[in-house]
């Protein structure tokens, strides 16, 4: 039996283009004499459709699209993901399903059993859990068809590094008595640089445990903040990776079942540089956001600092240098080398930029407010005025020319509230909001791996907001090497202050950092969407009460 894996980039709710892409892949498979072509989870409508699932028109369009694709499946079978109406009057209205199409019709429908509700997932809000377990018989093979989480009932977690059973039922244990010849898993599993190793281990361990090959198909592309890396794979019955599809781009590959069952001489398990993965994820995330929203051009504030420098490079790689614009908005606190570094970077990338001094406007603001502020000395108020004036310029250019403003704040700053609401926190999309400051530097080094694109001085100089004389980030924050480790333990691994201190960190520093994280939730609540690259990004995957006292 010849099996094709179709790793495609879908657009939520774009039924016309989704169906066209799936149909073209089916016809391609037919021309190659493929027996079965497999697509990813909820491929018909795109994942995650969220509350669109509550609209009858949306569900009806899914059914109409499936009927259209079934008509194409003559001489071939296809597995396509789609929501299905639950006919039972009790329970949720829908199932998350895998359709088995062949002979011009729907031959079978398998529903998802395990519905995740952790991190960014909230599937039990919409779907009913499957309770019936059966094998699909096709071309003399018995197929255990599973949907994403159904194969992931045991998962290694970052804070334990040991397998933890999340559910009281295991779909594969229920299917095991049927003695399947292969497992097919269709998935919509988002990218996380902290969990990539776990994803591969899950697929490998299931193949080894049940002694049958696994054909895993993941979607690729970005859906707002969620980035799907693809990375579909075929693993043989010994748990050896037979083949690994591309990351961060569409792919289509064909396999002969007999070849998969044979011994392999090499293992496709070598992992790429993690900063290449992060770079590629952010570039694809930005590019897809613009393509799917039909945006054309972007703008950002270029300060001469590391965050805006890395953001500009990512934007140019995603959109092209003709579609990215930069504003340099110096005040009297901006050092000469910061302006020079920003200009050098823009010239290196051949990006159009403007230099507009905000100093006279800052002085006008301060003069207008002085009578009302009376004898209060200058403080963070005046610093924030500068940041908000810059935002006004950036948004003015955005409004006038239709540019989308890109936010350049990093995760370290967002975590501790080191940013100005309606100032440097504004924007339509956050590029680095899930990238810690120390990783921003490593991204810069990756960008400069072949030649100097980001000026060396931008990377070497101490980070500063340049809102007051001789300001350094370390005036307000611990050194980023210390801060980021504490933040990682607290946010990603969710360790307590006591557990973090026990790892050798200063107690006062830990308590102070955690206090800043907890008291700045209101700022993150108003931040733009953040491209997610970790297992615990700010946004939908981390839900903290705004007024909690904890």
Question: Hey, which residues are catalytic here?
Answer: 41, 112, 148
Q: Please give, one letter per residue, the 3-state secondary structure of 161-193.
A: CCEEECCCCCHHHHHHHHCCCEEEEEECCCCCC
Rounded distance between C-alpha atoms, residue 87 and residue 505, angstroms: 56
Beta carbons within 8 Å of 92's beta carbon, 6+ residues apart? 86, 124, 126, 127, 128
Token pair of 329, please?
């908005």
Cβ–Cβ contacts within 10 Å for residue 519, how many? 11
Q: What are the Cα distances from residue 373, in Å, to 29, 366, 381, 382, 522? A: 72, 9, 10, 11, 26
- Host H or E run for residue 159: none
How far apart are alpha carbons 241 and 238 in whole angstroms? 9
Helices (H), 320-379: 336-349, 359-373
User: Residue 136 belongs to what H/E stretch?
Assistant: strand 136-138
Q: What angle do CA 58, 54, 49 make, to 5 degrees?
A: 65
> Half-sphere exposure of residue 80, counting CA atoms within 13 Å on the CB side?
32
Query: Crossing angle, helix 15-31 and helix 56-70, to 10 degrees?
Result: 20
Cβ atoms within 10 Å, residue 428: 19
Give me 518's structure tokens: 């907890």
**220, 249 in Cβ contact below 8 A?**
yes
259's tokens = 């070849």
Mapped onto helix, strand or coil, the DSSP state of residue 298 is strand
**Which of 234, 222, 278 has its CA nearest to residue 258?**
234
Helix (H, G, I), strand (E, B) or coil at 230: strand
Q: Quote the CA–CA distance of 278 and 188 in Å, as a whole number.
A: 19
Q: Phi, psi at residue 328, to the nearest 5°? A: -100, 120
Q: Is 153 left (phi over 0), alpha (psi -120 to 50) or beta?
A: alpha
The answer to whether 99 touches 136, Cβ cutoff 8 Å, is no
Phi/psi at 81 (nearest 5 deg)?
Answer: -85, 140
Cα torsion angle, 327, 328, 332, 334, sign: positive
């Amino acid at each position: 039996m010849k099996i094709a894996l179709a790793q495609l980039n879908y657009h939520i709710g774009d039924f016309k283009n989704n169906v066209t892409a799936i149909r073209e892949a089916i016809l391609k498979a037919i021309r190659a004499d493929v027996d079965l072509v497999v697509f990813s989870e909820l491929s018909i409508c795109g994942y995650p459709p969220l509350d669109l699932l509550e609209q009858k028109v949306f569900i009806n369009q899914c059914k109409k699209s499936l009927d259209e694709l079934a008509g194409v499946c003559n001489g071939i079978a296809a597995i396509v993901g789609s929501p299905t109406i639950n006919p039972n009057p009790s329970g949720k209205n829908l199932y998350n399903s895998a359709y088995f199409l062949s002979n011009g019709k729907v031959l079978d429908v398998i529903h998802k059993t395990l519905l995740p509700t952790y991190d960014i997932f909230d599937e039990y809000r919409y779907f009913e859990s499957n309770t019936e377990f059966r094998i699909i018989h096709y071309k003399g093979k018995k197929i255990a068809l599973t949907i994403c989480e159904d194969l992931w009932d045991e998962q290694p977690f970052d804070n334990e590094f040991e397998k933890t059973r999340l559910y009281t039922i295991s779909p594969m244990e229920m299917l095991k008595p049927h003695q399947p010849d292969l497992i097919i898993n269709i998935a919509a599993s988002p990218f996380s640089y902290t969990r990539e190793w776990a994803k591969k281990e899950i697929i490998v361990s299931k193949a080894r445990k049940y002694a049958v090959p696994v054909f895993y198909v993941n979607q690729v592309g970005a859906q707002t903040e969620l980035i799907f890396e693809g990375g579909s794979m075929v693993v043989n019955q010994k748990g050896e990776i037979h083949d690994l599809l591309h990351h961060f781009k569409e792919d289509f590959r064909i396999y002969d079942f007999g070849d998969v069952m044979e011994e392999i001489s090499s293992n496709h398990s070598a992992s790429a540089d993690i900063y290449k993965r992060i770079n590629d994820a952010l570039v694809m995330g930005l590019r897809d956001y613009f393509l799917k929203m039909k945006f054309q051009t972007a703008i950002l504030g270029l300060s001469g600092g590391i965050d805006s420098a890395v953001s500009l490079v990512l934007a140019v790689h995603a959109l092209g240098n003709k579609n990215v614009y930069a504003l340099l908005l110096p005040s009297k606190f901006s050092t000469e080398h910061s302006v020079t570094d920003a200009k050098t970077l823009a010239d290196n990338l051949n990006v159009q930029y403007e230099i507009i001094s905000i100093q006279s406007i800052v002085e006008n603001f301060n003069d207008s407010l002085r009578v009302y502020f009376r004898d209060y000395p200058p403080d963070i108020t005046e610093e924030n005025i500068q940041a908000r004036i810059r935002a006004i310029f950036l948004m003015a250019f955005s409004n006038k020319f239709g540019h989308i403003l890109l936010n350049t704040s990093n995760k370290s700053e967002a975590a501790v509230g080191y940013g100005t609401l309606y100032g440097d926190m504004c924007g339509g999309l956050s590029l680095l909001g899930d990238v810690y400051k120390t990783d921003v530097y490593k991204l810069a080094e990756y960008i400069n791996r072949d030649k100097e694109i980001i000026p060396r001085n931008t990377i070497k100089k101490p980070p500063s907001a340049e809102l007051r004389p001789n300001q350094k980030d370390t005036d307000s924050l611990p050194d980023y090497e210390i801060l980021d480790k504490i933040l990682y333990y607290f946010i990603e691994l969710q360790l307590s202050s006591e557990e973090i201190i026990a790892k050798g960190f200063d107690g006062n520093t830990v308590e102070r950092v955690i206090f800043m994280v907890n008291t700045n939730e209101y700022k993150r609540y108003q931040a733009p969407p953040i491209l997610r690259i970790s297992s615990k990004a700010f946004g939908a995957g981390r839900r903290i009460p705004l007024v909690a006292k904890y």
